[in-house]
Amino acid sequence: MPPADPEIARLLDLLPASGRSKTKLMAKPHQSQVLHVPLPRPWPTPHGISFNPDLWQQLPQPQRDLLLLRSVAWIMNVRWLKPELYQGVMAIGLVGSLAEFLQADFVGVAMAVGLTAGATAQLWRRNHSPQRDLEADEGALRLSQRRGYRAPDALRALLGGIEAIAALEQRSLDFGELLRCQNLRSKLAAHPQEVPDRLG
């Protein structure tokens, strides 16, 4: 059954098939953020992306497209189950917590839970690292070109979208957003003949 919201239907049509199957788009009129993309859960379930429709519609369509493609690229780049140090520590901590709980060793439970929490926090920080953000931007730019966007147009739309979201939310750009904007501007410098006086 197609979504009732025409913007959601349009955005779903924009997504690659792999992203469409992993994503659930929701309009939330009362949320303060223009676009909210929480960290995906480690188990297989559609990852929710919500937007404030009133604020969202104030963005030009190319900015909306690139911001959504970037969000999906970030979701698809989150690695929970790839065998690495922190995943191993987290798994050991979970197993240890269960074993200590069954043995009624509450000191052991506290230590295992602490180990699990520490590893989970490291995973969260790594998936929100500046490198992951830059990789998600690159993924969005690649996806956009499959949807007919020229590289400089996609760069301008993503850069303008990052800045516009901060303006709509009445806040300054955070460190990660500033880093992303600087990176996008450096890429735009490779297209000097196509960079307008004002980036939109």
Q: Give the tens place of pLDDT for each residue, 53-64.
A: 999 999 999 999
Least confident residue range of 129-133, 149-153, 187-191: 129-133
Select, from the ranges 41-55, 56-70, 71-85, 113-127, the one with the highest average predicted confidence (pLDDT). Answer: 56-70
Residue 83 has what pLDDT? 47
Residue in the structure block whose two tokens are 């604020």 = 55
Cα distances (Å, whole numbers) of residue 110 to 85, 98, 117? 21, 11, 10
Q: Are 97 and 112 in contact (CB under 8 A)?
A: yes
Q: What is the DSSP string of 153-179?
A: HHHHHHHHHHHHHHHHTT----HHHHH
Does the structure show a pLDDT above 90 at 1?
A: no
Does the structure show a pLDDT above 70 at 162?
A: yes
What are 106's two structure tokens? Answer: 């509450």
Residue that wins the pLDDT comparison between 107 and 55: 55
Dihedral of CA atoms 13, 17, 20, 22 in degrees, nearest 10, equals 180
Residue 106 has what pLDDT? 52
Residue 69 CA to residue 158 CA, distance in Å, equals: 10
Residues 72-95: tens digit of each pLDDT: 999 888 765 554 444 444 455 555
Q: What is the DSSP letter of 50?
A: E
Q: Which residues of 171-186 are buried (b: 16+ CB within 10 A; e: fewer)?
A: eeeeeebeebbebbee
Does the structure show a pLDDT above 90 at 17?
A: no
